[in-house]
A = this chain, B = another copy of it.
Amino acid sequence: MQQLLAKYGKITDLLEEEAETFRSLASTKREFEAGEVLVASELQSPDQLYIVDDGRLFASMELRNGERAITRLYFPGDIMGTANIPFDHATQTITANTASSMYIFPRSNLVDAFTRLPRIAAIFYTFAALENAILNDRLVSIGRTRGRARLASLLLEIAAREHLVECDDPNICRPALTQEQIGDAIGLTTVQVSRLFKELTTQKLIKRRDGNVELLDPTALQDLGLFRNRYEDLDLDWFEEDF
């Protein structure tokens, strides 16, 4: 919950009442094991929203032909399940990729929160819009750049997201994903991901050591991956003034 408040507090100063609402919104906490599936696509009515307390998770969609795509990575402080809200069945599967703990609340809790505190509604809306912008970026990356650029972009995104809450070296990231999962996230096969890792490594752009990836030349990677850190660009003055 600290991460969430930190993340939201980063964009606007929360009133005590609002912070309290966030806390009460998510009263139930649950642990999940690595590999456990929280929301099974198509199977489940998406009544729940989740706020990540700790761990790494991802949202994915299966295709009829057995292939899988990973549409989103989740870090502590993230709200999960947004894309399922307006539907009568889940549109994506959420999987805990490491041991994780999270706060759970039914989407109907939002009704009360939105009614009592319109700024909460604005915050949720804003984060949905942010998620939108990030999805746009990924669409561009996957649709219009080659594998090298896509991998660079993903690594930068992971580094940026990790750095947002865990304040360690911004140039070291821990994908916590197999190469198959990375492929699912950027639209490539395992084989190709492996080759690209090798390529970036021999070009001294990155360095790998037991699951960590060090970004040796962040500037070059940013040029290559055309990456924009959307979290840096946030601006919420528009709803500050009048509420």
Residues of A participating in the B interface, judged by any CB pair closer than 8 Å: 11, 47, 59, 61, 63-64, 67-69, 71-72, 82-89, 91-92, 107-108, 110-112, 114-115, 118, 121-122, 124-133, 135-140, 142-145, 184, 186-187, 223, 226, 228, 230, 233-236, 238-239, 241-243
Contacts and interface: CB of A to CB of B under 8 A. Distances in A.
Q: Copy number in this complex?
A: 2
Interface centre among A67, A143, A226 (most CB of B within 10 A): A143
Given A83-B136, A235-B86, A114 B108 contact: no
> Closest 6 interchain pairs by CB?
A143-B187, A88-B235, A121-B121, A128-B128, A135-B135, A69-B140
Contacts of A110: 122, 125, 239
B122 A122 contact: no
B136 A136 contact: no
B132 A128 contact: yes
Contacts of A241: 108, 111
Nearest to A87: B233
A111 B119 CA distance: 8
B112 A242 contact: yes
B239 A88 contact: no
A59 B114 CA distance: 29
Contacts of A108: 238-239, 241-242
Nearest to A242: B111
A136 B82 CA distance: 12
Residue of A84, A233, A238 with most partner-chain B CB within 10 A: A238
A133 B238 contact: no
A58 to B, nearest CB: 12
A115 to B, nearest CB: 4
A86 B142 contact: no
